Amino acid sequence: MNVYLAEFFGTMLLILLGGGVNAAVSLRKSKSENGGWLMISIGWGLAVMLAIYAVGNISGAHLNPAVTIALAINGSFATDQVLGYILAQFAGAITGAALVWLHYLPHWKETADPATKLGVFCNAPAIQNTFSNLISEILATMVLILALLFIGANQFTQGLNPIVVGLLIISIGLSLGGTTGFAINPARDLGPRIAHFILPIHGKGNSGWGYSWIPVVGPIIGGILGALIYKLIFV
């Protein structure tokens, strides 16, 4: 499989399963409605784990533009592949979000609140504060990148790494996700947000474009900081 196709497929799977748990918890008449934040955090961790198992040996399973940029800065990824990876990740995220919409098709009509529907696709802050929201995304993504580099520097039993990364996502979600929903991935937020804008979702509101730059800029800054801190201190 081509590395770009692998990134597309892996990100699509990530969003299908991650957005799927958002929908399961949020949409009316789902059997797991009101499952709570723990269920969401675990669901996203498992989604990342499975996506890495799916394409990790083909593309490295970046699945995240912030990871791709950080690894390029770290010198462990070819810069001439950065744009192709990012485009594949966004295409996969949009496709995965469309599949979530299709899977839960009857439930959109049963759910009255437009903000709840938007929350299936993308993030919104618990408390609207531009500076604090941006800092939250920067810090959470910085932790993600540092942890990924730490994990890569250690030897694990073959096949264990995706499980460790999945647990990392759960940890970030539980500890740092309560403020903004821990996008920590520009494609994870903006791709599904675009899908929300395009799709004929019953009773949807606006797509929250005023907030949309924070889950893009914050993770990119956090990723760059994580890579630079790792290079300065740990290499």
Decide: 127 and 179 in contact? Cβ < 8 Å.
yes
Q: What is the pLDDT of residues 70-123, one digit of tens each?
A: 999 999 999 999 999 999 999 999 999 999 999 999 999 999 999 999 999 999
* 25 phi, psi to nearest 5 deg: -80, -30
How many C-beta neighbours within 10 Å does residue 143 have?
19
What is the H or E stretch that residue 49 is in?
Answer: helix 37-59
Residue 205's SS3 state is coil
Q: Identity (one letter) of the amino acid at 111?
A: T
Decide: 115 and 124 in contact? Cβ < 8 Å.
yes
Q: What is the pLDDT of residues 176-230, one digit of tens each?
A: 999 999 999 999 999 999 999 999 999 999 999 999 999 999 999 999 999 999 9
Domain 3-234 adopts which CATH fold?
A: Glycerol uptake facilitator protein (1.20.1080)
